[in-house]
A and B are shown apart, each in its own frame.
Chain A
């Protein structure tokens, strides 16, 4: 079974630009969660999508948004990029219940904002 894939793996943008990251979950998984990982902060939860609906949201500004398609693939968008948005963005998929099912993580997208 193929794992979680994320594209692109690396991205360099400048302040003020916007970016879209993509995540393809494991086949059959319906829950997709996004996390931001920065040094010293661990993994910070961004949001979770299930059946095309945002089911839970972390404490991030409205510049961070996402969506999920009918095939469970998910995209995350960050508008008006700031230097502090430089981070590793991870997506994780699980079967149904994010809080008890095992989450499988993708390799992440490394975003650098200059």
Chain B
């Protein structure tokens, strides 16, 4: 049972434009959410997180939005750069529990 879903396996965006990656979850107990970026042959690296008490968190070009009523999470990258091309995973957890990961979205930023 996939508790965290990323319904778009891939996304292509022109350099300089906005990339929007989406994530949906089913467990209303989740209160902490993260995004990871993964390059080939490397482990995932932490990008940005948000707790359920917030609906937005920004870090430079990366912004995560949380819509608790819709159980929806999104990552915005503005402006997109070719170095952002990677697989992006969202993850969610409830306090003290394990992390549940989505299946990933492969982002390609076209120069």
Tally of A-B Cβ pairs under 8 angstroms: 61
B contact residues, range: 20 to 34
Question: How many residues on chain A are close to B (CB under 8 Å)?
Answer: 25
Q: Which B residue's beta carbon lies closest to that of A88?
A: B43
Q: In the bound complex, what is the Cα–Cα distance between A56 and B96 (angstroms)?
A: 9
Return the contact of A56 from the options B97, B101, B104 (Cβ within 8 A).
B97
Question: At the interface with chain B, which of A14-22, A68-76, A79-87, A95-103?
Answer: A95-103
Residues of B within 8 A of A (CB): 2, 4, 6, 32, 34, 36, 41-46, 49, 89, 91, 93-104
Asked whether, in the complex, the Cβ of A99 is within 8 Å of the Cβ of B49, the reply is no
Q: In the bound complex, what is the Cα–Cα distance between A33 and B102 (angstroms)?
A: 17
User: Distance in Å from the Cβ of A54 to the closest Cβ of chain B?
Assistant: 12
